Chain A
Amino acid sequence: MLDKEVRMEWLVNRVAQEFKTGDVVNLGIGIPTKVANALPEGIKLILQSENGYMGVGPAPETGKEDPDTVNAGGQYATILPGGCCFDSATSFAIIRGGHVDATVLGALQVDEEGNLANWMIPGKMVPGMGGAMDLVVGARRVIVAMEHTAKNGGVKVLKKCTLPLTAAKQVNLIITDMGVMEVTPNGLVLTEMAPGVTFEGVQACTEAQLLTEA
């Protein structure tokens, strides 16, 4: 298998192929954020930041940080020409109202029914759900982008999530450093594999039964 860094790059580039010009997209913190820099030539998205603006641009140059322009993670950001600002009610009307074409989020766990857990580990990590529950329910397509297994090697693609859910049955696509899985009524269909990865290799790191066709 190729080394981790190469597979992570494959993952980010693969997520970036999911969009077309003009799509309104909300990218979560971490791996999803990197997708903005990996878009194919000529593809232009309208990125939303749920704290209240459309047209998320690249991070500002040093010395040009604007305290009133931060992204949903609280980091300094920029707003591209054509962007616009709004209040939180409008922001979540955009999200919940079905006006966001896709959201890309990380996950602690995801399962074969499209259930997602990414907001808390009881007794350990309880940061809160922020806007994630609304995004997963409201966005037209929900794409989970994550490392296939946890840092300790633990399995994250399960038959049934065990952590408290962010939302039930809302995930459409799971893209990891090992492959691409579509959530279908029959279960998870492994439609693509990262270079150098075998079906058996992915299945060995996955609790859910992977299918080759829907």
Chain B
Amino acid sequence: MAQVVSLEEAISKVQNGMTVMVGGFIGCGAPDQLLEEVCQKGTKDLKLIANDTGILGDAMSQLIVKRCVSKLIATHIGTNKETGRQMSASELDVKLVPQGTLVEQIRAAGAGLGGILTPTGIGTIVEDGKQKLVVNGTEYLLELPIRANVALLNAYKADKAGNLVYRRAARNFNPVMAMAADLVIVQVDNIVEVGEIDPDEVMTPGIFIDYLVQKKPLEVPDVG
């Protein structure tokens, strides 16, 4: 059952050495205030699973800059030069994964699947060390599920039962990660009472969510 808690209480559950999934796509839909608190606490040795490591200067990038992360699984690190620098200097263990594969590996973990078969990466270095299967004459890579101890997510609206609504392109990895971690913490722009979100409008069922943290309301321009 979801609980509304303070930022500090929520992030007190994030311990050194944990595997942490973080939603967002180059900062859009990333839980910036949760990440700032993780950095602030001086958290170390996280295994980070995320699409990218943000743009140098944003909250996501600070996880890398402040050396909270020892191992990273991501699809793209080009927007944060510090990630590339730490990788080249062998200070950070980085595994790059195709975006469509990463999201399906996470979904597989959340959905109780033993893995997924994808044609992506066949004939490239992505296939190194992986099992290949031929189904109906087509070659696929077996990609294994990816789970985390904690997921740090962002939503536009939540009711106190944890039901989530995202806005525009800020949805990205958030709904999939909500299913694949032992503890799911969501930073929310607007927390409303139970019953104030129509059941048809819910994008992520509240049963996946453990903690809701209220964020200062986001100023959104009127774009119709």
Interface residues of A (CB under 8 A from B): 49-53, 60, 63-70, 72-74, 77-79, 85-89, 91-92, 95-96, 115, 126-134, 137-138, 164-169
Interface residues of B (CB under 8 A from A): 25-29, 51-52, 55, 74-79, 84, 87, 96, 98-101, 103-104, 107, 118-126, 156, 166-176, 203, 218, 220-221, 223
A94 closest partner in B (C-beta): B100
Q: Once bound together, how far apart are the Cα atoms of A89 and B79, in whole Å?
A: 22
Given contacts A67-B220, A87-B174, A133-B121, 4 further A-B contacts (CB under 8 A): A68-B29, A92-B103, A165-B123, A167-B124
Shortest CB-to-CB span from A27 to chain B, Å, is: 16
A87 touches B98 (CB 8 A): no
Could you say which residues of chain B place their CB within 8 Å of the CB of A64?
A: 221, 223
B27 closest partner in A (C-beta): A74
A68 touches B170 (CB 8 A): yes
A168 closest partner in B (C-beta): B123
Q: Once bound together, how far apart are the Cα atoms of A153 and B221, in whole Å?
A: 46
A131 touches B100 (CB 8 A): yes
- Choice from A85, A96, A131, A133 contacting B171 with Cβ under 8 Å: A85
Evaluate whether A134 and B168 lie within 8 angstroms (CB atoms) in the complex, with A74-B27, A128-B74 already known: no
Evaluate whether A128 and B119 lie within 8 angstroms (CB atoms) in the complex, with A66-B168, A67-B28, A165-B124 already known: no
B75 touches A130 (CB 8 A): yes
Could you say which residues of chain A place their CB within 8 Å of the CB of B52?
A: 128, 130
Could you say which residues of chain A place their CB within 8 Å of the CB of B156?
A: 68
Could you say which residues of chain A place their CB within 8 Å of the CB of B121?
A: 133
Evaluate whether A69 and B104 lie within 8 angstroms (CB atoms) in the complex, with A128-B78, A138-B120, A167-B124 already known: no
B74 closest partner in A (C-beta): A128
Shortest CB-to-CB span from A36 to chain B, Å, is: 17
Could you say which residues of chain A place their CB within 8 Å of the CB of B79?
A: 74
Could you say which residues of chain A place their CB within 8 Å of the CB of B74?
A: 128
**Nearest 8 pairs of A and B residues by beta carbon:** A127-B78, A168-B123, A92-B100, A134-B100, A74-B26, A128-B76, A68-B168, A130-B76
B77 touches A128 (CB 8 A): yes
Could you list 17 examples of A-B contacts with CB < 8 Å? A64-B221, A68-B29, A70-B26, A87-B174, A88-B25, A88-B99, A88-B176, A89-B103, A91-B103, A127-B77, A127-B78, A128-B76, A129-B75, A130-B76, A131-B98, A137-B119, A138-B119
A68 touches B220 (CB 8 A): yes
Q: Once bound together, how far apart are the Cα atoms of A178 and B78, in whole Å?
A: 29
Could you say which residues of chain B place their CB within 8 Å of the CB of A138?
A: 100, 119-120
A133 touches B221 (CB 8 A): no
A134 touches B120 (CB 8 A): yes
A133 touches B120 (CB 8 A): yes
- Choice from B98, B107, B176, B221 contacting A129 with Cβ under 8 Å: B98
Q: Once bound together, how far apart are the Cα atoms of A137 and B121, in whole Å?
A: 8
A74 touches B124 (CB 8 A): no
A166 closest partner in B (C-beta): B124
B124 touches A66 (CB 8 A): no
Could you say which residues of chain A place their CB within 8 Å of the CB of B28?
A: 51, 67-70, 74
A135 closest partner in B (C-beta): B100
B119 touches A66 (CB 8 A): no
A78 touches B223 (CB 8 A): yes
Q: Once bound together, how far apart are the Cα atoms of A128 and B156, in whole Å?
A: 29
A65 touches B119 (CB 8 A): no
- Choice from A52, A96, A164 contacting B172 with Cβ under 8 Å: A52
Shortest CB-to-CB span from A14 to chain B, Å, is: 28
Q: Once bound together, how far apart are the Cα atoms of A168 and B171, in whole Å?
A: 31
Q: Once bound together, how far apart are the Cα atoms of A51 and B24, in whole Å?
A: 9
A85 touches B99 (CB 8 A): no
